[in-house]
């Protein structure tokens, strides 16, 4: 679960991390409230969307006067921001964060992520902030420092101090810097985050460190332990189909192709996507109905796939282990009736109760093509989608 910068900054503040407070504005009229709260400019107006690269895309603007502030807020509110992280369709800006601008003399980069190979958190930090980290990683990987964190003990004080020194930060601020890195790690670990990023982390004129930007992503599987934070979810920022699927206990991920996939098991779903690509097609989604789906869940899955206007063909690939194939077949038949299925449907099935399922399908007036192997299913679906 991603959250907005302003929410991340509220969490940072709770952990005693240095951030500038500000006000979230959804309507232009609320700019006046921001002005009452923060009467002294200059200010920064920042688009609140769940994607980075806002600055370069025109979503972060400095305002020197009150008039300029109203103008910049009006420019950014309602604009569609296109950054490398939003995809070509961009993201509509529904909120901006208005915050007093900060003067600084240096930009750094700091983040905490999970190192899956070493099975521990790792701090990535660089004295060369300001640029996109992906770019730096590609062109100058030696400029990125890595500090591995013990998963139980956290970041040791000596590690934090070493990092401060190796980033070339002011010697007299070493306790402050070390405490900041330790807090970042504690926050990451306490809240089961999958990502914490401060880009840029800046050095103010007096040498103090300050978090100018803040990004936080919660690991969804850890959210059950952090119920207080669940309300931070912004449905506007999430894929409507993914939310709907989650409500019905289905794992669904939107992709950009045109073949809708209904599969049981994550491994089989990935193999199906690979097979589709192999035959020159492109999956519209990843959908795992799970091992114990009911006919109702399958109907829901179908509805979700069909609500995607890009879908040109549907591929059902089911291996009936725990999942009984007749249940799937009934779900398909019910869903097709309910939604008036008009798209080409390819079905490949194997496993428990296959005969019963086939019988159900052939007795129904559903139009579908039967495939006896995964390759054949993928090939048929790719052709049907053309
Ligand atoms: P991002 O582009 O989505 O990562 O948004 P950021 O919050 O990082 O802002 C983009 C850029 O705007 C920063 O890298 C800074 O150069 C600039 N910026 C943001 N806030 C301030 C501020 O308070 N003062 C100054 N001088 N620049 C700022
Ligand atoms: Mn940033």
19-56: pLDDT as tens digits:
999 999 999 999 999 999 999 989 999 999 999 899 99
Residues 87 and 120 in one domain: no
Last residue of a domain, one of 101, 126, 149: 101
In the predicted structure, residue 341 carries a pLDDT above the cut 90: no
Å from CA of 369 to ligand 1 middle:
55
Last residue of a domain, one of 49, 76, 101: 101
Write out the residue range of the structural domain in which residue 216 sits. Answer: 1-19+104-237
The mean-pLDDT minimum among 140-144, 281-285, 355-359 falls in: 355-359
Cβ < 6 A, ligand 1 pocket: 44, 46, 52-55, 60, 101-102, 130, 199-200, 212-213
List Cβ neighbours of 138 (8 Å cut-off, separation of 6 or more): none
pLDDT-derived band at 326, boundaries 50, 70, 90: confident
Tokens of 268: 């089989």
Residues 70 and 118 in one domain: no
Q: State the DSSP string of 193-261.
A: EEEEEEEEEEEETTS-EEES--EEEE-GGGGGG-GGGGGG--GGGS-HHHHHHHHTT-EEEE-SSSEEE
Average of per-residue pLDDT values in the chain: 93
pLDDT-derived band at 349, boundaries 50, 70, 90: confident
Residues 138 and 255 in one domain: no
Residues 248 and 324 in one domain: yes
Q: Which tens digit of pLDDT belongs to each residue from 253-263?
A: 889 899 999 99
Read off the pLDDT of each residue in 46-69 and give the average, rounded to a whole number.
95
Residues 244 and 346 in one domain: yes
Residues 164 and 257 in one domain: no
Counting the structural domains of the chain, the total is 3
Residues 161 and 130 in one domain: yes
Residues 43 and 150 in one domain: no
Residues 270 and 283 in one domain: yes
Residues 26 and 132 in one domain: no
5, 6, 107, 109: which is the annotated catalytic residue?
Answer: 109
Instruction: State the Cα–Cα distance between residues 274 and 121, nearest whole angstrom.
Output: 31
Residues 214 and 332 in one domain: no
- CATH for 80: 3.30.1490.20
**What pLDDT is attached to residue 228?**
96
Ligand 1 atom nearest residue 54's Cα: 3
Percent of the chain with pLDDT over 70: 99
In the predicted structure, residue 177 carries a pLDDT above the cut 90: yes
Map tokens 């008039």 to a residue: 67
Residues 205 and 228 in one domain: yes
- Best substitution site from 5, 55, 57, 210 to test ligand 1's pocket, by max atoms within 8 Å of Cβ? 55
**What pLDDT is attached to residue 354?**
86
């Amino acid at each position: 679960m991603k959250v907005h910068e302003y929410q991340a900054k509220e969490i940072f503040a709770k952990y005693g991390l240095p951030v500038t407070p500000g006000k979230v504005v959804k309507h232009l009229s609320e700019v006046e409230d921001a002005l009452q709260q923060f009467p002294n400019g200059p200010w920064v107006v920042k688009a609140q969307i769940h994607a980075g690269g806002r600055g370069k895309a025109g979503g972060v603007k400095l305002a020197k006067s009150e008039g300029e502030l109203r103008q910049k807020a009006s420019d950014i509110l309602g604009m569609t921001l296109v950054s490398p992280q939003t995809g070509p369709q961009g993201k509509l800006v529904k909120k901006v964060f208005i915050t007093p601008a900060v003067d600084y003399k240096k930009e750094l980069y700091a983040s905490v992520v999970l190192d899956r190979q070493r099975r521990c958190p790792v701090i990535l930090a660089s004295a060369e902030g300001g640029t996109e980290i992906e770019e730096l990683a590609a062109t100058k990987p030696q400029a990125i420092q890595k500090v591995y964190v013990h998963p139980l003990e956290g970041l040791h004080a000596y590690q934090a101090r070493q990092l401060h020194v190796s980033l070339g930060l002011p010697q007299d601020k070493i306790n402050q810097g070390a405490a900041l890195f330790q807090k970042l790690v504690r926050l990451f670990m306490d809240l089961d985050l999958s990502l914490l990023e401060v880009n840029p982390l800046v050095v103010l004129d007096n040498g103090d460190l300050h978090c100018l930007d803040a990004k936080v992503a919660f690991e969804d599987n850890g959210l059950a332990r952090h119920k207080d934070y669940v309300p931070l979810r912004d449905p506007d920022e999430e894929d409507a189909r993914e939310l709907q699927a989650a409500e019905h206990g289905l794992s669904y991920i939107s992709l950009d192709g045109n073949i809708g996939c209904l599969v049981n098991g994550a491994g089989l779903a990935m193999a199906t996507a690979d097979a589709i690509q192999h035959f020159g097609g492109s999956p519209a989604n990843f959908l795992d109905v799970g091992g114990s789906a009911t006919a109702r869940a399958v109907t829901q899955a179908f509805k979700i796939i069909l609500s995607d206007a890009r879908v040109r063909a549907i591929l059902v690939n089911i291996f009936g282990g725990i999942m009984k194939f007749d249940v799937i077949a009934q779900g398909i038949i019910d869903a097709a009736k309910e939604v008036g299925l008009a798209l080409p449907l390819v079905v490949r099935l194997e496993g428990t109760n296959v005969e019963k399922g086939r019988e159900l399908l052939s007795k129904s007036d559903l139009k579908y093509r039967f495939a006896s192997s995964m390759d054949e299913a993928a090939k048929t679906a790719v052709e049907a989608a053309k």
